[in-house]
Structure 1
C-alpha cells in the first residue's frame, strides 16, 4: 500500500488542507513533517470552516491518526489552543501523536524572531514572527529543546542555559533588551509536560510499522516548494524543507517507501511575505483574484500577493519533488475572465528562459512571457466530472497540465469538501 507525499508546488497557500482532507478518509495516518504554526490550512466540511495552523488536516477525519513528526517545531501554547478549539466544536483529537524528537518553540525563540526581523528594516524577510526560524537555528546549532526534554528537568535546565548564554548577550548588547531568566523558561515549559505526555510517541517506529502492516500514510507539507530553505527563492524562504525530500527526514520514513508525490497547484499564483514574484499583479485583475479567491493568509492574516499562473515554477516543482500528480485548486476563481494569461517563460536580459534560473539576481529581474488562453463565464462549482466543465475550462486545465510536466488528477471547483473533480484516483 502507498506512502504518499502531498505538498505545495508554488509559494504555499495552494489549498493543501482541502486536498489532505479529501484523501483523509482513504488513509490511516496523516503526518506533518516540517514547519510549525507559520503554516495554515483552511478546510471546509459541510457548512463548517476549520483553520488549522499546526495540526495535520487529518485531525478532522475520525478514522485517521494525525501525526506531528520529528521535523516539525511545536509551540505548545498554540498546540493546546488549537486542540481546545477543535474539542469545543466536537472534534475528537485524542488520536494525535507527537514525535518526542520534535523541537519546542520557546518564548525566547519568539522574542529573537521578532526583534531580529524588526532590526532588518527594509531588508526584512517577511517572517511570521512566531519563532520558527530561531527554533530551527537552535536545532542546527545543537542547543534546541525537544519534546522529550520536558520529561527530564535536569537536561531541560542545562539546555535552556546553553541556549540563553548566547541569546542574552544578543538581546542585551545588540537589541538593548532585558535578559531572559533560565528559571522562568524552564518553569513555563514544564507546565506543558503532563498535558503533552499522552500524545508523545516514537513516531518513527509507529509509521514504519504502519507501512509494514500495509497501512496508508499521507505526508503533508506546510508552505510550498518555492519556500524551501534549499530549493526556494532564498533568502525569502521558510526554515525547513517543504519539498518531498523533507518528508523522509521529517518523519523517519525512507524514500524507498514513498510511492506517490502529489503537488498542489493553485489555478493562479499567490505568495505571502517579501521576495521575487514575476507574475505579481498590481492592477484590477490582482485585486479581483484577491477578493474572489479570499486571498488572506490563514495564519498571518495578511493579504496575499496575487498573480497569473506561472508554468516555469510548476515545472521546477515537478523536477525537484519528483511529482507524479497535481491537484489543481481554485479553478472556479478564474470564472468570468474573457482571457486568462499564463506565464510560459521569462525574459531575462533580453533572452527567453523556460526554466527557473538558479541565480537569485536573474530571478529578481525575470519578466513573465505570457500566453493568453480563452476564459469562461459559466458557473463550474456544481461540476462533478471533467466533462461537466466548459470547453475553455477543460482546455485551460489541459494546457496547465502539459506545461507543468505531470498529470492533473484532481481539480478543485469550489471551497467545499465535495466540490472537487477527481480525474484519476490518488490511491
Structure 2
C-alpha cells in the first residue's frame, strides 16, 4: 500500500529481480488497503463514486506512507483507465505537454486516463491551470497527492473541480495488521519481544512505508532469538517526527499549543511546545507567540503574564539552546495556569469598530488645550474640570465626542486581577452618576 515514485514508461524489473517488501505487499484490490475507512468504507466517497461509475478528479491530502499512490493506481484498475504517474518535483511544461497529448490520443481511441500527480502543490499557478481544460472535457481524471493543506497550496479553480479527500496516519492497530502481512510474506515471525514489537510500531509514527522498511532491516539481522526493547533501541534509531516549519504542521501545532494554554491545560501545552522544539522550530518564534497569548488570552486578569513571557524570551537570548528552552517552558506552564480574560482584547476591537464608524469627530472642546487666544475665544478648554481638584480625584466629565452616546467597551471578568478592575469600574460609574445628579 506504499507510494511508488516510478516514471511513466519505465520498464518494470524482471520477475526474479529483488523487490522491496513495500512493493511486494502492495495491495491488488481496494478492499485490501489497510486503513482509510473514511474514504474507502461502504458509504465513503470513493466507494460511492465507483458504484455510480462516476469517478471524478480527486486531491488526496495526507502524510507520507498512508497509501495515496496505491489507492490512485487501484482506482485506475477499477475503472479501466490508463494509469499515468508524474511528480511535480521532476516535471515541467515539456513533460506536461507530452502527458496531455498522450491522454488526448487515448481519448480519441476510446480510452480514458487517470493522471496521478505526486506533490501537486509543487506546481505553480500556470502549471496547475493547465490541467483545467482536460479535466473539463473529460480527457483525463486528475488525482493529485499532497502533504500540504490544499486550501493554501492549490488554485481555487482546481479545487472547485476536484474533491479533497483526507488520508490519515495509520493507527498502531493498523500498523500491527501490516506487520502481520509482512510476516506472512516473509514466512517468518519478527524476532521481537512484545515491548520491542510495540516500539517498532511506534517508531513508524503512522507511516506504513516506514514500518515496512524497519521490518526489512530487522529481518535482515537474521536473529535466532527474540530481542527486547533495550537491545532494539541500540540497533535502530527512532524516526524523526514529521514537522515542516513552513507548512501545515507548523500551523497545526502552534494552534494546538495556543488552545491548550487558553484551555488551562499545562500538560498538553508542554507537550505541543516540546513537539515544536523537537521539530526544529525557532524558539524566538515560540517566544513571540507566547507573548501574544499573554496579551490576547490572559490580559489584565494577570498583568504579570506579559512580564513572565518577556523575561523568558530575554533569558533564552542570553542562554541560547538548549538551556534557554527551559525558560520558555516555564512561561508555557505559567500561561496555562494563569486566570484567563480576553476582555481588553474584545474592548480594543470594539473601540476600533467604533472609531471607524464615527469617522473624524473631534474631541469635546472642554478637553482641548487653548494654546492661542483665538482658540480660547472658540471655547477650547472652557469648562474643563481638573480631576485632582475634584472630590475623590474624579470629575466624571465626558471625554467622548459631543453628541456621541457613551459606549461600554471594557467588561472585565470575575477572575484574577480583573476582579479588582471590575470593582474599580463600578466605583467610577457610581461616582459618575452621582456627579450627573
| Rg larger for | 2
TM-score, L = length of structure 2: 0.25
TM-score, L = length of structure 1: 0.25
More strand per residue = 1
**Greater RCO, 1 or 2 (C-alpha within 8 Å, sep 6+):** 1
More helix per residue = 2
